[in-house]
Amino acid sequence: MKRYDYVIVGSGLFAATFAYEAKKVGKKCLVLEKRPHIGGNVYCEEIEGIHVHKYGAHIFHTSNKKVWNFVNSIVEFNRYTNSPIANYKGEIYNLPFNMNTFSKMWGIRTPEEAKAIIEKQRMSIQGEPRNLEEQAIRLIGKDIYEKLVKGYTEKQWGRDCKDLPSFIIRRLPVRYTYDNNYFNDCYQGIPIGGYNVLIDRLFEGIEIKTNIDFLENKEYYMSLADKVIFTGPIDAFFHYQLGKLEYRTVRFETEVLDTDNYQGVAVVNYTDRETPYTRIIEHKHFEFGTQPKSVISKEYSTDWVEGMEPYYPVNDEKNQGLYQKYVELAQKEQNVIFGGRLGEYKYYDMDKVIESAFQLVESELK
Ligand SMILES: Cc1cc2nc3c(=O)[nH]c(=O)nc-3n(C[C@H](O)[C@H](O)[C@H](O)COP(=O)(O)OP(=O)(O)OC[C@H]3O[C@@H](n4cnc5c(N)ncnc54)[C@H](O)[C@@H]3O)c2cc1C
């Protein structure tokens, strides 16, 4: 007789959603988390009374009503709407590209005027775009490309746009309305009280051990339950026996400032190449904070090396091929289910990771 129905490795949103539903149907779970806290990448650290998104800014957005109702049944969400701005050498533009952006860029007023300018500039690229620069100009025209796309993209990839393949940018969303809402989804917001409230409530009444690396005592932990749900990196589970999957990552420099309002908005993209960081996040604005101080994080895009947080899977042929080989190994593990962004080597937004946990709930618990 095993002590638990499930040992769940990791305590991010995938694990939390599954554990919550498993508890509801009377299953006994043990959650193991190697970090000193639960919540995975949505965890917030409180500094000066402000919830600081320690692993990168997280804005919840979805068009899936089931997911929205689920998270709202756990915690109420505020009305935060993501409306980032771009700073190009001191000039401020609204994002995503919309009539506010075009009006500022060209002093025009109507969608017709904006369309005419963009159309004319796009035509400067004839034939099949040979690189990302030509692709972006073909999509959005020269002015927007040069001020708002070029430097930012070069910092993200650490390379010149002329040396990047065109397929990286398939489309650049353009809106011919005065609408600064970054997302097209029906629902968005931040949990009132921060993401830790959501996570704590999902795990309420479930046994959790932090500072435990499952892989250091794999056989023992596997012997405790009928099944293991593994949300850590799939290649790590197999001791990297086929090689290492690659990631891109972000380094954060976080500072406390002696001002109550540094930039007037949560997200500012620095779109010139010379400023070394890509964005500055001012965390208090996610929750309309009125604290006397402010906390900002500068984001630097970098290649991932061991010891850094693995953030974005590199979806090229080499890595996808390697991942498929790990999937073949995973299929032989009868009692282990791999899930979440690291277990499936896939970039998932939060709503999508909850959807994916719901699918597991359907197949496992119903
Ligand atoms: C920089 C950044 C910004 C993002 N912004 C947004 C956003 O604005 N909106 C949005 O919807 N989504 C956003 N996301 C995506 C979001 O973070 C993910 O959808 C979500 O966190 C995935 O949850 P998860 O449970 O799969 O993984 P994670 O949250 O990564 O949880 C996995 C957990 O497993 C633990 N673990 C790993 N190995 C072991 C082991 N051997 N033993 C024990 N524990 C282990 C890890 O420590 C971690 O806590 C962003 C992601 C990043 C990287």
CA atoms of 139 and 121, how far apart (whole Å): 9
pLDDT of residue 172: 87
> 99: Cβ–Cβ under 8 A, 6 or more apart, which residues?
111, 114, 175, 176, 177, 178, 179
Instruction: Using the CB atoms, write b or e for 212-237: b if 16+ within 10 Å.
Output: bebbeeeeebbeebebbbbbbbbbbb
Residue 30 CB less than 6 A away from ligand 1: no
Q: Is the pTM of this model over 0.85?
A: yes
CA atoms of 284 and 296, how far apart (whole Å): 9
| Residue 338 one-letter amino acid | F
Confidence check: pLDDT of 18 > 90: yes
CA atoms of 250 and 156, how far apart (whole Å): 9
Residue of 82, 240, 341, 355 best suited for mutating to test ligand 1, as the one with most atoms within 8 Å of CB? 341
Residue of 14, 38, 41, 212 best suited for mutating to test ligand 1, as the one with most atoms within 8 Å of CB? 41
Active site residue 279: yes
**What digits encode the pLDDT tens for the residues 154-182?**
999 889 999 999 988 888 889 999 999 99
Structure tokens at 237: 């589970």
Residue 42: Cβ-neighbour burial (10 angstroms; 0-12, 13-18, 19+): buried
Residue 154 backbone phi and psi in degrees, to 5: -65, -35
Domains of the chain in start order, with CATH, are 4-79+187-246+314-365 (3.40.50.720), 97-168 (1.10.3110)
Instruction: Look at residues 10, 69, 72 and name the one whose alpha carbon lies nearest to residue 35.
Output: 10
Instruction: Look at residues 301, 305, 62 and name the one whose alpha carbon lies nearest to residue 189.
Output: 62
Catalytic residue among 279, 323, 344, 348: 279
Confidence check: pLDDT of 1 > 80: no
Residue 91 backbone phi and psi in degrees, to 5: -85, 135
Cα 343 to chain centroid, rounded: 15
Q: How far is the CA of 162 from the centre of ligand 1 (A)?
A: 32
Q: Give residue 67's pLDDT band: very low, low, confident or very high (50, 70, 90).
A: very high
Residue 211: Cβ-neighbour burial (10 angstroms; 0-12, 13-18, 19+): exposed
Atom of ligand 1 nearest to the CA of 312: 53
**What does DSSP say about strands 60-62 and 187-189: parallel, antiparallel, or unpaired?**
antiparallel
Q: Give residue 316's pLDDT band: very low, low, confident or very high (50, 70, 90).
A: confident
Residue 231 CB less than 6 A away from ligand 1: yes
> 42: Cβ–Cβ under 8 A, 6 or more apart, which residues?
12, 13, 53, 55, 58, 195, 198, 199, 350
Q: Give residue 305's pLDDT band: very low, low, confident or very high (50, 70, 90).
A: confident
**What digits encode the pLDDT tens for the residues 23-32?**
999 999 999 9
What average pLDDT does this structure show over 84-107? Answer: 98
